[in-house]
């Protein structure tokens, strides 16, 4: 596996994970309120972090693939960092009042 491909995949996954924090997708009574992509503002490149460091842990195991490993952990990592920084817990997404 090419380490640059792994790095790019993880960086993209973090960017995609940030959409959970920032997008205007809202739910009401368990249903998405927007009918299509034209009804919310997705994050843009200017919203992305300037640097996303990726650290590959060496292993002797056979490579199995990377996938979107960073996507599901991005939101919890950011809200935990905010809680540590501010002392306030955020319990709903998107984060619109930070």
Question: pTM (2 decimals)?
Answer: 0.74
- Closest by alpha carbon to 23, among 81, 58, 75, 87? 75
Give the C-alpha separation, 18 to 33, whole Å. 20
Q: Which range marks the domain in which residue 81 is found?
A: 3-62+69-86
Q: What confidence score (pLDDT) does residue 34 get?
A: 83
Instruction: Judge whether residue 90 has pLDDT over 80.
Output: yes
CA distances to 30, 35, 36, 43, 72 from 10, rounded to whole Å, are 30, 29, 27, 17, 11
Q: What is the mean pLDDT of residues 72-77?
A: 90
How many CB atoms lie under 10 A from the CB of residue 11?
17
7-61 confidence digits (pLDDT tens): 999 998 998 888 878 777 777 898 888 888 777 777 788 888 889 999 998 989 9
Indicate the number of domains in the chain.
Answer: 1
Asked whether residue 22 is domain-assigned, the answer is yes
Instruction: Judge whether residue 97 has pLDDT over 70.
Output: no
């Amino acid at each position: 596996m090419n380490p640059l491909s792994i790095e790019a995949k993880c960086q993209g996954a973090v960017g995609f994970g940030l959409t959970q924090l920032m997008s205007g997708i809202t739910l009401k009574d368990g249903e998405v309120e927007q009918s299509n992509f034209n009804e919310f503002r997705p994050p843009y490149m200017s919203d992305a972090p300037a640097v996303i460091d990726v650290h590959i842990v060496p292993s002797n195991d056979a490579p199995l693939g990377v996938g979107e490993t960073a996507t599901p952990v991005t939101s919890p990592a950011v809200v935990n960092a905010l809680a540590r920084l501010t002392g306030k817990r955020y319990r709903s997404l998107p984060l619109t009042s930070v």
